[in-house]
Amino acid sequence: MSAPAAPPLVHEAVREFFAKHSPFSSLDEAALDFVIPRLKLAYFAKDAIVVDHDSQFPPLHIVQSGHVASQAAGLDALPDRVLGPGECFPVGALSAGGQPTRSYRAVDDVFAYQLGVDDFRALRAMSAPFAAYCAEAVTVLAQQSLAELQRHYAQVAADQHSLTRPLAELVPAAPVTCAPDTSLRVALQSMQDNAVRSIIVVNAVCEPLGVFTLNDLRDRVVLHDLPLDRTSVAQVMTPEPITLPAHATAAEAMQSMAAGGFHQVIVTDHGRVLGTVFEQDLFALQRVSLRQIHHAIRSARGVPSLKHVAGDIRNLARNLLAQGVSAEALTRTIVALNDALTRQVLTLTLREHPLDGIDWCWIALGSEGRGEQTLSTDQDNAIVFRAPADGGPRDVEVTRRALLAYARDINGALDALGFPPCKGGIMAGNPECCLSEAEWRARFLHWLTEPTPQALLQANIFFDLRPIYGDAALAEALQSWLLAHTHDNQLFLRLLMANALQTEPPLGLIRSFSVDDEPGRAGTIDLKTRGTRIFVDAARASALALGDRSVNTADRIRVAGTHFGAEPRHVKATVEAFHYLQMMRLRTQERQVGDNATMGANRIDPYALNEIEQRMLKEALRQARKLQQRVQDSFSFAR
């Protein structure tokens, strides 16, 4: 028996059907007159594949009767959604301009209206309600892509990088020990005085002989009614305790505890007791929190003790990624913690460099200044200071020398904590970056009046400034002076804008992406220089032209959008595109940092991404191009 033929379309019946289902119920007469004659009615028998995940530009399907199951490609699982009459698919794939990432199967006999790709695009262009509906479908694709990222980072977090720490770093305090002939009363008093639940019994050269715990007190002393003064600790200790060398890892300690049923392990250095690591110390490694990090920063008594905190910040960032935290929230969290870490370094080091009588401020520049640090970031910092009121050039140089000695120690400490020196030398320990108020204004004025390519490059870094430590009023006054001198400087703004617009998003004319062909980088694109930098540069130029004090890229885009009356959905799309590229950078950096990757911490092969990620990357880069065009259209001097 042959399958039933699709009945011919009756235009009035289609109108009545559309009137019952959104978004078609919102189409005006012109849109209905356009779309209805272009529809075809197709039939699909039960269990037939309506659209496969590898289909190339399938038509839009609108279920007229029956039900269609939607399922993620490549998954051997139950359908995650069943579509009924009036629902359509694959809207997200068609809106994003590529092939579907899901398959669609007829649950029962299905009749569906079909609209070709070109007609679908034309309908989007002519109908605002239908275009809004399609935009929501693209948002669903973005959520699916972020879910892919979350699954990736969940696996990364499961690896628990912190468990590779050597035990020497985890010993919480000096060991509490006693000789084997120590009486129980003296041993117990020592345990009470040090607030510990066990004491290590050692020989004359501090080698462990045994351990005495509160469990031993219960089982071997109290229950046997032994006298505290006449019983030595050696008589009731647990002999030959489990030990591990200082270079053993936390993971090895956890495995040893699990195998032996112990709750602690004695750490030794060349056979001598270094301390004890407890089970709860190992579990704490897997639960790094903001509260713990802030406490560790505040309680640090020296820069070396902050090295663990710097690693915890990076581990926390990975864990937040695993939990699906947005790129904006994540980068702001990283910056806030790195700021706290830097302030503590500045505070601790200040004890060694008395700077009494000097008004100064430590300034963050570049990505740190904008609050957009990622997992792979170097130092960009500077100092502004107030020259002595009654002094001349010599007094300025004396002040500078004192600040430079301090700044170089800070730069070295930050390097030790995982923030490598800036290759361009933009660090406070460089005399060119440690200037008085008047010297900074002279430097900025030189760049503004003679905007050479090098001056524009410097402006892109130094004009994104933010106070970190010291007298914040100095930095704020410098920023106010800068905005006052850029707001009406059309020559500088025109060149800065042209510089911001010259980077082409890596979108191909034939293929989806325009990749590099240089040796060692062939087939890749740089997500920073050809991605996020486009948003950063355009937003900076707009902010300076508008006199906006914001330094964060997303904030600058929002301010500019409000100023020019842009539709909120367009502004939101631009910000989300920027953050999507930031998320892609975070993912790439997490995979490559520490692995001596040759491509660089921001380089990817776009064709190695899955279909959803390719589609979202392409849309983010299109938003970059649209932002450049909007900036050019909004400022007359940019044309």
Average pLDDT over the chain reads 85
For the chain, report the end-to-end CA distance as a whole number of angstroms. 68
What is the mean predicted confidence (pLDDT) over 219-232? 93
CA proximity to 537, closest of 627, 637, 451: 627
Question: Which neighbouring-strand residues pair with 514?
Answer: none
Find all residues with CB under 8 Å of 364, minimum gap 6, and list them: 339, 342, 380, 381, 465, 466, 467, 468
Residue 496 has pLDDT above 60, yes or no: yes
Torsion of CA 65, 66, 70, 75, to 10 degrees: -150
Question: Which neighbouring-strand residues pair with 278?
Answer: 264
Question: How far apart, in whole angstroms, are the C-alpha atoms of residue 620 and residue 639?
Answer: 24
Q: How sure is the predictor about 46, in pLDDT bands with cuts at 50, 70 and 90?
A: very high
549-584 burial, b at 16+ Cβ within 10 Å, e below that, comes to: ebbbbbbbbbbbbeeeebeeeebebbbbbbbbbbbb
What is the mean predicted confidence (pLDDT) over 538-553? 93
Question: How far apart, in whole angstroms, are the C-alpha atoms of residue 500 and residue 502?
Answer: 6
Q: Give the C-alpha distances (Å, rounded to integers) separating 614 from 539, 584, 618.
A: 25, 11, 6
pLDDT digits (tens, 9 = 90+) for 145-179: 555 544 544 444 444 445 667 888 888 788 999 99
pLDDT digits (tens, 9 = 90+) for 260-279: 667 789 999 999 999 998 87
Torsion of CA 467, 469, 473, 479, to 10 degrees: -20
- One-character DSSP codes across 577-618: HHHHHHHHHHHHHHHHTTTT-SS-TTEE-GGGS-HHHHHHHH
Window from 45-54, 325-334, 439-448, 602-611 with minimum mean pLDDT: 325-334
CA angle at residue 168 from 163 to 172, to 5 degrees?
90
CA proximity to 551, closest of 450, 483, 622, 477: 483
Has this prediction a pTM greater than 0.75?
no
What is the mean predicted confidence (pLDDT) over 585-606? 69
- For the ranges 260-264, 516-520, 593-597, the maximum mean pLDDT occurs at 516-520
pLDDT of residue 80: 60
Pairs from 430-436 (Cβ < 8 Å, separation ≥ 24): 431/400, 431/404, 433/381, 433/382, 433/383, 434/382, 434/383, 434/385, 434/400, 434/403, 434/404, 434/407, 435/382, 435/383, 435/384, 435/385, 435/400, 436/384, 436/385, 436/386, 436/387, 436/396, 436/399, 436/400
Q: How sure is the predictor about 420, in pLDDT bands with cuts at 50, 70 and 90?
A: very high
pLDDT of residue 76: 41
Output Rg (C-alpha) for the chain, integer angstroms: 32
Residue 104 has pLDDT above 50, yes or no: yes
What is the mean predicted confidence (pLDDT) over 443-468? 91
Only one residue has tokens 């905005």, namely 483
- Which residue type does 351 have? R
Q: How sure is the predictor about 38, in pLDDT bands with cuts at 50, 70 and 90?
A: very high
pLDDT digits (tens, 9 = 90+) for 364-381: 999 999 988 887 788 999
Residue 362 has pLDDT above 90, yes or no: yes
pLDDT digits (tens, 9 = 90+) for 129-141: 898 888 777 665 5
- Which residue type does 206 have? C
pLDDT of residue 597: 38
Helices 568-592 and 611-634: crossing angle in degrees, nearest 10, is 130
pLDDT of residue 286: 52
pLDDT of residue 267: 95
- Decide the pairing of beta strands 264-269 and 243-245: parallel
pLDDT of residue 17: 93
- Residue 384 contacts residue 435 (beta carbons within 8 Å): yes
Is 154 or 488 the better-scoring residue by pLDDT?
488
